[in-house]
Structure 1
Amino acid sequence: MTDIATEPNLARPLTGATLILAALLIGLGNFIVVLDSSIANVSIPHIAGSLGVSVTEATRVITFYAVADAIAVPLAGWLARRFGERRTFITAFIAFGAFSLLCGLARSLEMLVGGRVLLGLAGGLIRPLSLTLLLRVFPAEKATLATVVWAMTTTVAPIAGPILGGIISDNAGWEWIFFLNVPVAAAGAAGLFYLLRGRPELTARSPIDAVGLVLLVIWVTALQLLLDEGRNLDWFAVTQIRVLAVVAAVAFIAFLIWELTAKYPIVNLRIFRHRGFVVASVTYALSFGAFFATIVLIPLWLQQNMGYTATWAGYATGIMGIFAVLASPVIGAAAAKIDPRLIISTGVFGLALISIWRTGFTPDMTFLQMAWPMLLTGPFLMMLFIPITGLCIASVDPHEQTDAAGLSNFLRTLATAFAASLVQTGWANAARVNQSELAGAMPQGTSTIEAMVASGLSRETATTLLTNVVESQSVMLATLNMFAAIALCLAFSGALIWLAPKPNSPIDTSGRH
């Protein structure tokens, strides 16, 4: 690789008001990207109704955004080296606003999903580069403060997403969850262009692993399509699903072989030789995927079966941020002193216990009864989120730490896409099975209908009422089934982390590696 520097040295850190404003605008970029990963969760019923598709089909808006985000993450480093971190970030910021406008103008599911894919690609560049830029503009001695800014935007955004999404969808229309990104992105990009103008950057003619990138896109997209379409097309009974399975498998195997032999791999798979990294990154992906499955499932269940509006479904999901924000400083301080495996395990087991708590939910529960488990989710989530990336990075050699951070985040983002598809598939299948079992366990169904007819109802009305009761109970049981499955996944992850070796020293949570 031949490096051609445009300037002899990187720019000095910023100071004073310029530093504060630049940090806020960089953090804002990360905020709207992470916000868009959850803001659509409570808007899915609105989107489905507006575009004339099923709720299941509309959830592609969530899954394909996450897939595109994950695919773009490995590209961020190459683009930053080739064109400069500042230029890449500002360009991606502008693109995010433009693609948000495209999403808001969409009048078909295909156009909206396409816009969300482009949005995810832009967001996948902004998210990792936001931390890099924050560390560039802050003095070295304030690196931890830079990380706090980044962590707070990363933490608050997915919490605010359901609340904002619900309020906007109910009062202005789902399109505005995208339109509001446009002025924010435009102002943020313009402000950063002004504040960071003239700052020297190092650029280099860096080779890109085009073959690896193409194989990555093929296997990830094929697998996601398989998960999304399989539940609608009777899985492997349909040729299309079998073809997708073969394409995903072949492309994945080719991807592994290519990346392990390439001189400049787009994903450095060699770091999987470190047991600590494997355990920490798998724990991260499984735990966060299980958590994300919960925040996809709960808003859908509340709106479709509990009569909640999008706004109140957003409140029910977003309130976990209250204790999460309050607990973050304490957990951050503890992570520098206590074995991170203990903190992570406690957090993940706590999330598992909360999921077990949810298996006791009933159709007539109040908002407050629903709120308590979600409130307590926040601190346990922070016990996972704060130390896990540091443990991933501490498990590899110093020259591999950037790759470790990128790959662990790639796996986490990919897990959210797969989890969203899997939980909906499991939910739908469990509801069908439960409905059949409930119907078979009602030998008095005919006599119940006759009694309702005798009380003055028409036979059609009586049959409809009884069918609705069976369907409602089957969905309720399916929801509890999913909470139980999520609890098992979290319990496994909480135990898995102990297979990682104990770090020799406190993990570095500053993000400067």
Structure 2
Amino acid sequence: MKKNILIITVIAAAMMELIDTSIVNVALSHMSGNLGSTLEDTSWVITAYAIANIIIIPMTSFLTTNLGRRNYYIGSIIAFTFFSAMCGMASNIWTLVLFRFLQGMGGGALLSVSQAIVFEVYGKARMGIASALFGIGVFLGPTIGPTLGGFITENYSWPWIFYINIPIGIAVTVSSLLLVTEPAIKVKAKAVDWWGILLLVIGIGSLQTVLERGETDDWFAAGYIVVLTIMAVLSLTVFIWWELTIPNPVIDLRVLKSKSLAVAAILTFVTGVGMFTSVFLTPVLAQRIFGFPPTITGLTLLPGAILAIFGLLFSASLLKKGVSPLIIVFTGFVLFIIFSYKMSGLDLDATPGILASNLIYRALGMAFLTVPLTALAVSGLEAKDVPQGSALNNMMRQLGGSFGIAMINTYVAKRFGLHRNDLVANISIYNTEATARISKLTQYFSGKGMQAMDAKNKAMGIINSGIDKQSFLLSYLDAYLFIGLLFVLAMPLLLLVIKRQKQVRPIVLVSDH
């Protein structure tokens, strides 16, 4: 009975962390309006969480060794719960971003340590059952996240998407205090690689800030962008050199000598770009352009997410039967490319049903990439290097997500300017359709009692609003096509490991947010 409660506890903790990666996506517009920030600034609410995960995930093994698994796990749950409450109480966007980052630092342990506990409870003999159970559990988080976020935002207010973590966090903390123990085999604590930690934080933080703020502040015309770029390059260069030369690095980069891991890491990075940017773009497109309410927006993601659970189990069973991970990964890439192509062809008449059907391709593509990429990543590693290789692979997924969102915001902004200029150029006295539309609107408002000048200004305002809406639509559609092209360009990397037909170890399912 205690084992069952422990399993429920740790899966609930993992789901709580995963729900928070997607629950905010459908609330971005509400947050932006309520806090008086731009949508680009509000996207930092997602990015800050991802950056924190990027920093903490590869350090989890190191931290559990030095702090003790029980202490680190319970401390992380408490931190995650506390900063969830602080996110809900934030009164401005940058306070929210700070608390969101700290929430992500606490949440980074919940997935990997929960996973380790599940596999320890079931043991090697029942590894398959543990994989399936944990895999379904972690997929339920992203499945219900957008739907739950939409329902809460529409019927209550956006702070409640964070407050909902408090009762769950308290329950999980109490249960963990009673049931979570140290692992049977204890690993000797290593010296703390403080320089490695510091260089990683400075490098990733600086680079992400450059990517996020570069477009807004005209890139290198801003002095702080230049300074942060130099800091990022120097910090990450020294970080790589430092980690490769010291005996106990916080992240052992030597495992990247494995060709299968190196290729899998790049493909996982691309997968992270596609996964996070698509789930960021879609709610914004649905609400800003199509006018869907938050609940409907969340529900468009639900059918695909449910099917993804079956796709995950199916891909795991194919691997068990000896099907090459490369074939399954190829299929996943093709499905996502189809999703990108179909999304790039939408128009203003798109319905929730059309959006939901397109998102099924995305969800199945991600499901077919999750387990095989993990299997490919560890297939060429020795047993002692598997945990570090898996951690690096997970980090690349989160890194792809945070960089992808920053990149796609910049790309959308540039495409919006180009499309708007093209559309505005068509509004002239020589365009009979445009002049007729303006004249008709002006007459309409004049008939409502407006002065001639006010009526014309009102008409021009509506035309301008329509141009902006069409420009944003075209920019978002370009963004989907851009992501699809990135997947196409990454596919040839599979040829580098095409000859590897090695039987992999029992598969550890890793969450794809």
Deviation readout 1:265-308 (Å, 9 max, x if unpaired): 11111122222111111001102211211110010111112111
| More moved, 288-297 vs 327-336 | 327-336
Q: 1:507 aligns with which of 478, 491, 504?
A: 504
Check if 1:471 corresponds to 2:472.
no
Q: Call closer, same or farther: CA 1:414–1:197 in 2, change over 3 Å.
A: closer
Residue in 1 aligned with 2:355?
370
Alignment partners' CA distance in 2, 1:42 and 1:456? 35
Check if 1:401 corresponds to 2:386.
yes
SS of match in other structure, 1:362: coil
Preserved contact between residue 131 and residue 508 of structure 2 (Cα < 8 Å): yes
Residue in 1 aligned with 2:284?
300
Check if 1:263 corresponds to 2:263.
no
Preserved contact between residue 70 and residue 182 of structure 2 (Cα < 8 Å): no
Residue in 1 aligned with 2:19?
35
SS of match in other structure, 2:22: coil
Matched residue type, 2:97: V
Q: 2:459 aligns with which of 459, 462, 474?
A: 462
Check if 1:206 corresponds to 2:190.
yes
Alignment partners' CA distance in 1, 2:364 and 2:225? 40
Alignment partners' CA distance in 1, 2:257 and 2:137? 32
Residue in 1 aligned with 2:302?
318
Deviation readout 1:155-192 (Å, 9 max, x if unpaired): 22122111111111111211111111111111112112
Check if 1:247 corresponds to 2:231.
yes
Equivalent positions of 1:149-188 (< 5 A) are: 149-188=133-172
| More moved, 420-429 vs 491-500 | 491-500
Residue in 1 aligned with 2:330?
345
Deviation readout 1:26-67 (Å, 9 max, x if unpaired): 111111111111111111111112212112111111001100
Shift of 1:427: 1.3
Provide the aligned C-alpha RMSD in A: 1.8
Q: Call closer, same or farther: CA 1:277–1:200 in 2, change over 3 Å.
A: closer
Alignment partners' CA distance in 1, 2:263 and 2:300? 32
Alignment partners' CA distance in 2, 1:200 and 1:186? 26
Matched residue type, 1:309: P
Residue in 1 aligned with 2:449?
none
Alignment partners' CA distance in 2, 1:435 and 1:354? 26
Shift of 1:510: 3.1
Q: Call closer, same or farther: CA 1:215–1:233 in 2, change over 3 Å.
A: same
Shift of 1:90: 1.8
Residue in 1 aligned with 2:257?
273
Matched residue type, 1:421: A
| More moved, 438-447 vs 71-80 | 438-447
Q: Call closer, same or farther: CA 1:198–1:75 in 2, change over 3 Å.
A: closer
Residue in 2 aligned with 1:132?
116
Q: Which runs of 4+ in 1 moved over 4 A?
A: 197-201, 445-448, 454-457
Check if 1:218 corresponds to 2:207.
no
Preserved contact between residue 371 and residue 507 of structure 2 (Cα < 8 Å): no
Preserved contact between residue 341 and residue 484 of structure 2 (Cα < 8 Å): yes
Q: 1:358 aligns with which of 322, 326, 343?
A: 343
Q: 1:392 aligns with which of 377, 386, 397?
A: 377
Preserved contact between residue 84 and residue 163 of structure 2 (Cα < 8 Å): yes
SS of match in other structure, 1:264: coil
Check if 1:422 corresponds to 2:407.
yes
Alignment partners' CA distance in 2, 1:291 and 1:177? 21
Residue in 2 aligned with 1:383?
368
Alignment partners' CA distance in 1, 2:341 and 2:458? 37
Check if 1:283 corresponds to 2:267.
yes
Residue in 2 aligned with 1:495?
492
Residue in 1 aligned with 2:450?
none
Shift of 1:81: 1.1
Equivalent positions of 1:187-202 (< 5 A) are: 187-196=171-180, 202=186
Preserved contact between residue 99 and residue 118 of structure 1 (Cα < 8 Å): yes
Q: Call closer, same or farther: CA 1:428–1:339 in 2, change over 3 Å.
A: same
Q: Call closer, same or farther: CA 1:313–1:508 in 2, change over 3 Å.
A: same
Shift of 1:450: 3.7
| More moved, 326-335 vs 190-199 | 190-199
Alignment partners' CA distance in 1, 2:117 and 2:443? 73
Alignment partners' CA distance in 2, 1:413 and 1:102? 23
Q: Call closer, same or farther: CA 1:456–1:210 in 2, change over 3 Å.
A: closer
Aligned length: 496
Alignment partners' CA distance in 1, 2:325 and 2:360? 23
Matched residue type, 1:470: I
Alignment partners' CA distance in 2, 1:322 and 1:365? 22
Preserved contact between residue 297 and residue 352 of structure 2 (Cα < 8 Å): no
Check if 1:439 corresponds to 2:428.
no
SS of match in other structure, 1:219: helix
Preserved contact between residue 105 and residue 175 of structure 1 (Cα < 8 Å): yes
SS of match in other structure, 1:265: coil
Shift of 1:454: 4.5
TM-score (norm 2): 0.93
Matched residue type, 2:475: A
Q: Call closer, same or farther: CA 1:18–1:456 in 2, change over 3 Å.
A: closer
Alignment partners' CA distance in 2, 1:386 and 1:492? 21
Task: Report the identity percentage.
Answer: 25
Q: Call closer, same or farther: CA 1:207–1:471 in 2, change over 3 Å.
A: same
| More moved, 318-327 vs 189-198 | 189-198
Check if 1:84 corresponds to 2:76.
no
Preserved contact between residue 287 and residue 493 of structure 1 (Cα < 8 Å): no
Shift of 1:448: 4.4
Q: Call closer, same or farther: CA 1:294–1:447 in 2, change over 3 Å.
A: same
Shift of 1:216: 0.4
Alignment partners' CA distance in 2, 1:199 and 1:63? 33
Shift of 1:493: 2.6
Preserved contact between residue 324 and residue 501 of structure 2 (Cα < 8 Å): no
